[in-house]
Structure 1
Amino acid sequence: MVEFRRGRERGYADHGWLKSFHSFSFAGYHDPAHMGFGALRVINEDRIEPGTGFGTHGHRDMEILSYVLDGELAHRDSMGNGSVIRPGDVQRMSAGTGVMHSEFNHSATGQTHFLQIWIIPGQQGIAPGYEQKHFEPAARRGRLALVASPDGAAGSVTVHQDARLHAGLFDAAERATLEVAPGRQVYVHLARGRLSVNGYPLEAGDAAKFTGETRFEFADGQGAEVLVFDLA
Structure 2
Amino acid sequence: MWWTGYQDQPYSMGVIDHDRSPEGRVRMTLFRLAPAAYAWDILQFPYQGGELAGSGEAAWVDINGDERPELVAWLRASNDTLFDACKSCPFIIHEQTYTESRDGLQLHDMRVLPSPYATFTLFVRLLGEGNRAAAVRLLRDPARVTEAVTAAWGDRRRAKAWLLEYGEEERWPRWLEFLHHGVKGDQRYVVHFELKEGRWIISDWVTPHHTGGPAARDSVTAAPKRAGTPAGRSPAPKPATPRGKP
TM-score (structure 2 length as normaliser): 0.25
Higher-strand-fraction structure: 1
Higher normalized contact order (CA 8 Å, seq sep 6+, divided by chain length): 1
Compare CA radii of gyration and give the structure with the larger one.
Answer: 2
